[in-house]
Structure formats: structure tokens, C-alpha cells
Amino acid sequence: MSTAVHTARYGSGQGLVLTPAGSGSVADIEPAHLLKLLSESGFLLLRGFGADMDAFTALVNSVSVRTTIDPARDFYSEVAQKVDAGTGPIGLHTENGNNPFRSHLAWFFSEKAAKEGSQTTVCDGYRVWDALSDEAKAAFSAQDIVYSRYVGEQQWRAMAFHMTEQRVPMEEITFEQLRSLADSVPGTTVELHEDGGITYAFRTPAAAPTLFGERIAFANSILGPSTNYEKPRITFADGTEFPTELILEISDVTDRLTENLDWQDGDIAIIDNTRVMHGRRAILDTERTIYNALSYIDVEAAA
């Protein structure tokens, strides 16, 4: 039986904070109940459950059918990677949103919260799309966007190794296996270079229906970071650059709608990675320790 939880609105949007109604742990919350709440809210903050790394890992596995990775980060459990992208602010993005392998969910676990600042930020793509001008909506409705970048051999091998569920040793992963994965995602091309690295191009809408419904969300990585990787080139599908005024409008709207996750020790956040973008304020407390995980769910079962 699912443990009783209190739910309350977090911030000014639809996000929710879940706290235990009595004793209990996150392991007692039914995955289906979490996904129902997530489908309505866009992101959940689980607080007061006394979670540790083992509880976080178990929760990710109980809700998900498969996990994926950022190949530039190290593992700290079978699903968790440390968030270690420097100390500067990080722009809004969907996790792995600038490549063909965007996960359904993005997870975060606060093992040690910062004493000041250093918040993770969230911005609901539903609210962004509703707030954009008719001209901006028309621009992004008229055509897709394209991300393209170079990726080194070790990084694409690590991604392919994980995406093939580690059935083949990493050193035996071939470019053909990567190309097969890319071919499974419409709008994706990959090119192999003599140094073993690849260049990919990934075509996708900037605003689209989400994991849980047909409502349009502006959820992408146009404003996102390039930590640990070459900065991607991002254009409209016809190759044209985004007009300066369009980027300024996106920045203005998202700035107004961005909310902070003010972490406490043991917090867990679950984000619909097809709807809600996230980022980070500048880290003021370098003792802050946050981990993340990326996963896919059974979409039909969650419907």
C-alpha cells in the first residue's frame, strides 16, 4: 500500500512538493501515483522522507524501465551521476535535449544542500509557450530546429554502450551500432571522422506535445549549457540562425517564469524532461552535493 503523502503547490506554477503524512519512506510511494502527480504538475519535490543514495537509486529503478547517462560524468551508484559542471550558472535546458537521446525523466538527489544560493532552477514549458508572442510561436511552429556538434570517441562509445543496455563490452562498440541507434530517432544523422569522433545533427521541434499529453510545451536546450562538450550549433531546420530579438524574447519570458528549487538535505526532485526545463544558479557553496539520474518510463502504462 502506498504511504500517505501531503501535497502542496511549490512556487507559482503547477509543481508540487510531497511530504510524508506519517512515517514512511519514498519506497512506500506507488510509482503509478508518482507518475500521475508528475503528469499534472511537471515536477515533484519529495521532502522529509529521509532519503539516501540507496533510496534514491531504488526509487529511480522502481519508476523506470531503463536509465541513460551523460557520458561525461562518473557514476556514484548504478543510476546516479554527480552534478559537477563547474560553479557558474547553467542555462535552462532539457537533459540530453540537444542530442537524439533525451530521457523521459530527469531526477535529482540532494545529499548535501548548499548553505546559500546554488539552487537548481525549473521552468515549465507549458507556461513559456503560453507566454510567448504570436510571432515567436509562429516561428517555432513553422519549422523544426537542428542541433549539431562534434563528440569525441570515448563519449559516444559510452553513450552507445549504455543505450544498448551494456550487452556488448564498451571496447567492442562500433560506429555501426551508434548509427543504428541514431537511425531509430527520426531526423538524426551521424558522421564518423578519422580521429574516431563523430558529428551528429538532430532535428526536432522546439515546442511539442509532452510525455503525458498533447498540450504544447516549449521545452528544449536552446539556452542550455555546453559543459564538457563542444558547443552545439543550433539553427532552424532551413539552416538560418535565430533572430536576436527571438532569443531575447525567449530569455525574457523564461527569466520571468523560472523558479528555484531551494534544496534541503535528502530532497529528491523528479522532472518531466519533455515539459520542464531546468538549470542552475551560480554555486556559492562548493560543499553542495547533488546527484542526477536520467530514465525512461513505460509510456503506455503511465497513460
pLDDT in tens, 10-47: 999 999 999 998 878 999 999 999 999 999 999 999 99
Q: Does 88 or 200 have the greater pLDDT score?
A: 200
The predicted model scores a pTM of: 0.93
Residue 79's CB is within 10 A of a number of other CB atoms, namely 24
d(CA 169, CA 130): 46
Q: Does 171 or 221 have the greater pLDDT score?
A: 221
Contact call for residues 120 and 280 (beta carbons, < 8 A): yes
16-24 contacts: CB < 8 A, separation 24 or more?
16/40, 16/41, 16/43, 16/44, 16/45, 17/44, 17/45, 17/46, 17/47, 18/44, 18/45, 18/46, 18/47, 19/47, 19/48, 19/49, 20/48, 20/49, 24/49
d(CA 301, CA 303): 6
Strand 213-218 versus strand 207-210 pairing type: antiparallel
Contact call for residues 80 and 293 (beta carbons, < 8 A): yes
* 144 inside domain: no
d(CA 2, CA 190): 45
Locate the DSSP E strands across 171-267.
188-192, 198-204, 207-210, 213-218, 233-236, 259-261
Contact call for residues 42 and 126 (beta carbons, < 8 A): yes
* 164 inside domain: no
Q: If you search the block for the grid coordinates 500517505, which residue do you land on?
A: 4
Q: What is the pLDDT of residue 73?
A: 65
* 143 inside domain: no
Q: If you search the block for the grid coordinates 533572430, which residue do you land on?
A: 243
Domain count, the chain: 1
φ, ψ of residue 259 in degrees (nearest 5)? -120, 155
Average pLDDT over residues 203-216: 97
* 263 inside domain: yes
Identify the weakest region by mean pLDDT among 75-84, 244-253, 262-271, 274-283. Answer: 75-84
d(CA 68, CA 52): 21
- pLDDT tens digits along 92-143: 999 999 999 899 999 999 999 999 988 999 999 999 999 999 999 999 999 9
Whether the pLDDT of residue 239 is over 50: the answer is yes
Whether the pLDDT of residue 166 is over 80: the answer is no
* 285 inside domain: yes
Contact call for residues 237 and 146 (beta carbons, < 8 A): yes
Whether the pLDDT of residue 163 is over 90: the answer is no
* 178 inside domain: no
* 50 inside domain: yes
Q: Structural domain of residue 283, as residue ranges?
A: 5-122+259-302
Q: What is the pLDDT of residue 228?
A: 65
CATH of the domain at 27: 3.60.130.10
Q: Does 224 or 71 have the greater pLDDT score?
A: 224
Confidence of residue 193 (pLDDT cuts 50, 70, 90): very high
* 167 inside domain: no
Percent of the chain at pLDDT > 70 equals 94
